[in-house]
Amino acid sequence: MEYLTVAVPKGNLFDESLKLLDYIGFPANQLKDENRKLIFTDTRAKMKVVVTRNFDVPVYVEHGAADFGIVGKDVIAEMKPNVMELLDLRYGRCTLCLAGKEKDDPKFLNNVRVATKYPNLASHFLSKEGIRARIIKLHGHIELAPLLGLSTYIVDLVATGRTLKENNLFIIKPLFSSSARLIANPFSWKLKRDVMLDFFEKARFYIEERSVMNVSGHHRR
C-alpha cells in the first residue's frame, strides 16, 4: 500500500492538527519535539506528515507533493489553489478584519495605505466596501505597519483581538471569517481513493464528536 502524505502548517493550526492526526492513527508525539526535522513517517499508519508554512500547504497539495493538507480558509481564498476542499475542521476560527489606529471608516478617504499578508482578499473586500486602497504586501507582524506609519490601516486575521489591543489598534470592519480546512489533491483522490476516503471519514467523525462535546459543555475550550 502506498503512503499518504499530509501537509500540516506551523503556527496556530499546528497543535489542533496534531490532535486530529493522532485520532486518525498517526502518532503525533514525534512532531512535538523541537528539532529541525520536516518530514515524519509512520510505517504502521502508512503516513508521512510534512510541516510547512501555511501559505505553502496549498502549493504542495495542488502539485500532488502532498495528498492531503490542513490550511486556513483565509489562505485558500487568497491563493485559489486547484484542490478539493473537503471538510471544515472547525478549529482555528478567526476573522479577517480591517483595523487601524482610529475607529473611523476610511470609506471617504482616497488612496489609503493598507498593509496586509492577503493582497488579493484585501483588495477584493475593500473595493466591495467602496474603500479605495493602496495595498502593501507584508509577510508578518502586520500590526507594525500603522505603528511606524508605513500604512494607515491593516487587513489581518483576528482571533482573540489581543495583538490588536496591545498595539492600540481597533477593528473597523470584519471582512471574512475563516477556520481550518482539510484539502486534497484531486488526482491523489482517484489514485488512492480507499485510503483517502478512510482518512476523510475519520476526520469527519472526529470533528462531529468534538463539536458535540463542545456544545454539551463538557469539553469547552
- State the residues that interact with another protein by CB under 8 A: 58-59, 62-64, 79, 81, 83-88, 120, 181, 185-191, 193, 197, 200
Query: Closest separation between CB of residue 52 and another protein, Å?
Result: 14
- The whole-angstrom separation of Cα 33 and Cα 53 is 17
For residue 171, the SS3 value is strand
Query: Closest separation between CB of residue 129 and another protein, Å?
Result: 21
Q: Is the CB of 120 or the CB of 163 nearer to another protein? A: 120
What DSSP assignment string belongs to 28-50?
THHHHS-SS--EEEETTTTEEEE
Q: Is the CB of 31 or the CB of 67 nearer to another protein? A: 67
Query: Closest separation between CB of residue 15 and another protein, Å?
Result: 22
Q: Is the CB of 191 or the CB of 213 nearer to another protein? A: 191
- Is the Cβ–Cβ distance between 72 and 13 less than 8 Å? yes
Q: Is the CB of 166 or the CB of 194 nearer to another protein? A: 194
Nearest CA to 60 out of 185, 160, 146, 145 is that of: 185
What DSSP assignment string belongs to 102-113?
S---GGGSSSEE
Q: Is the CB of 86 or the CB of 136 nearer to another protein? A: 86
Query: Closest separation between CB of residue 213 and another protein, Å?
Result: 21
156 forms bridges with which residues in the sheet? 97
Radius of gyration of the chain, Cα coordinates, nearest whole angstrom: 19
Query: Closest separation between CB of residue 165 and another protein, Å?
Result: 31
